Amino acid sequence: MTAPFPTHKQEEWRYADLEALQPVWEQFAEPVTLTVGAGEQLEEIWLPVADDVQLRRVQIALGEGAKARIFALNTAPVYGRIELEVSLAEGADFELYAANIGGGLSTNEIVTSVKHVGPGGRSRQVIRSVLNGKAVGSYLGKVDVAPGAQKTDGEQSVKAMLLDRGATANCKPELEIFADDVKCAHGATVGELDAMQLFYAESRGLDPAGARALLLEGFVMGLWDSAKESDAICETAREALRRVV
Amino acid sequence: MLHIEDLHATVADKPILNGVSLDVPAGEVHAIMGPNGSGKSTLAYVLAGRPGYEVSEGGATFNGRDLLAMEPHERAAAGLFLGFQYPVEIPGISYLQFLRESLNSQRRSRGEAELGGGEFIKLAKSQAALLGMDAEMLKRPVNVGFSGGEKKRAEMVQMGIMSPKFAVLDETDSGLDIDALKAVGAGINRIMRAPDKGVLLITHYQRLLDYVEPDKVHVLRSGRIERSGGPELALELEREGYAEAEA
């Protein structure tokens, strides 16, 4: 049976393009479940596909001491959504490095719910958005720390670059902590390109458009420095940047 | 080669340069010395075209072309290189990519063929080796995690790769230990000492001038060239300080 169609009243669907989603909802309604057993490791790179509307709904269950690293690029022409629900058993480790790149009237969003169930878990979420035109890019990130999950170490870093006054970045980190000995940090910035970096690049011979493109590339590519096979995701991101800038 | 005439410039509406006139003919190295706040870095930035550095009067030509009418990248393509006092960090972009794109952008605007990947890496490696820099560092993001001395050495590697016609070097010697200073001095001589090239060397201290002997030394104070002389002027300043030299 298909899950009920979401509404904007649900916080995690607040910024979604439901109109675009409606016709294709059935094929995405059920999330994919990945289980990483105790002590095991998972590394995945999620590339965008060619469709106008793209959804990736994934649940990851991390066993004791398990580790998962996800590198993702979200850049659908109309509506893209990466939805991740992660649970961490004792000593598990989760890292997400993801980008929204959007132009035109597109909506791209990354929605996560990270549940620290056991103690001593660690989670890192690093999100970068580059938005032009009237594009919307969002990150809604919920981190839950269960009563027994002492020594949890959670971090969310969210930065967005708006290239046009019409573009919108939404950022909503949310913490729910029911343990008293935990470390959870989050930071968010929305900014423009650094003037001194631009001048440095131009003084070396790059024209203003080329310098801007290079700096934006650096803003995004830094995400995937630690991926084992980052060539494909970097190349796809470069193409996406060329398209939206 | 570089001709500066009665140059006045302001930064945030504050006058910093108050009528600088200077000629650096091809084949010469000129040093600009002067106390803190005299306008040395402002002069360097104005010549390279940093936004916010407004020319209010006077002008500058480079090989007969109006330098100040050009955009920063056009000045680079015309052969002007600024060695930064504080080189800028660019996370996420490797030095190799940064320099290859920069150099090829210059070459395109000069109507020259772009360098291919292999060709460029060969050039970059040889320039790094000549400056005593580990070529592996060029794979790292631009200046990220570099020490002060490494950044300055990297500026000279960039200059070697670009092989400009004219270099304005803004306190390239600051933050260098003696070995790095020798390497940088030798690099400046090797890359820039040629009959068709010129250098404007901005420095606080005489010590770099032991390795790069200037043809002329100018003292900048309160935004004007106060004195000019031969290499002996630098020695005099080193001995007596700016205050005494003025008296």
Residue B101 near residue A206, CB atoms below 8 Å: yes
User: Residue B26: its pLDDT value, please?
Assistant: 97
Residue A54 near residue A80, CB atoms below 8 Å: yes
User: Residue B172: its pLDDT value, please?
Assistant: 93
- Mean pLDDT, chain B, rounded, equals 94
A226: closest chain B residue by CA: B92
Query: Nearest to residue B212, comparing CAs of B227, B193, B236?
Result: B193
Q: Which tokens hold the place of B207?
A: 């010590």
CATH T-level fold of B2-89+164-246: Rossmann fold (3.40.50)
Query: Nearest to residue A153, comparing CAs of A124, A187, A111?
Result: A124
Residue A127 near residue A158, CB atoms below 8 Å: yes
Q: Is the pLDDT of residue A190 over 90?
A: no
Chain A 223-242, residues with CB within 8 Å of chain B CB atoms: 223, 225
Q: Is the pLDDT of residue B247 over 80?
A: no
Model confidence at A27, pLDDT cuts 50, 70, 90, reads: confident
Residue A58 contacts B, CB cutoff 8 Å? no
Q: Is the pLDDT of residue B52 over 80?
A: yes
Q: Structural domain boundaries of chain B?
A: 2-89+164-246
Side chain identity at B164, as an amino acid letter? P
Backbone phi, then psi, for B66, in 5-degree steps?
A: -70, 100
Using alpha carbons only, what angle is made at residue A188 by residues A186 and A191, rounded to the nearest 5 degrees? 165
pLDDT digit string (tens) for A192-202? 788 999 999 99
Give the global pTM: 0.83
> Among partner residues B84, B101, B162, which is closest to A214 by beta-carbon distance?
B101
Q: What is the mean pLDDT of residues B196-216?
A: 93
Q: Which residues of A touch B47 (CB under 8 A)?
A: none
Q: Structural domain boundaries of chain A?
A: 11-192
Q: Helix B117-130 crosses helix B95-109 at what angle (to 10 degrees)?
A: 110
Residue A112 near residue A125, CB atoms below 8 Å: yes
Model confidence at A225, pLDDT cuts 50, 70, 90, reads: confident
Residue A47 near residue A20, CB atoms below 8 Å: no
Model confidence at B92, pLDDT cuts 50, 70, 90, reads: confident
pLDDT digit string (tens) for A106-154? 999 999 999 999 999 999 999 999 999 999 999 999 999 999 999 999 9
User: Residue A228: its pLDDT value, please?
Assistant: 85
Q: Is the pLDDT of residue B245 over 80?
A: no
B161: closest chain A residue by CA: A204
ipTM of the assembly?
0.96
Residue B38 contacts A, CB cutoff 8 Å? no
Per-residue DSSP letter, A66: -
Side chain identity at B65, as an amino acid letter? R
User: Residue B216: its pLDDT value, please?
Assistant: 96
- The β-bridge relationship of strands B166-170 and B2-11 is unpaired
Q: What is the mean pLDDT of residues B205-224?
A: 93
- Mean pLDDT, chain A, rounded, equals 94
Residue from B53, B67, B99, B102 to probe the interface with A (highest A Cβ count within 10 Å): B102
Residue B160 near residue B130, CB atoms below 8 Å: yes
pLDDT digit string (tens) for B173-198? 988 989 899 999 999 999 999 999 99
Which H or E run includes A239? helix A231-244
Backbone phi, then psi, for B142, in 5-degree steps?
A: -50, 110
Give me the residues paired with residue A32 across strands. A58
Neighbours of B172 (CB within 10 A): 28
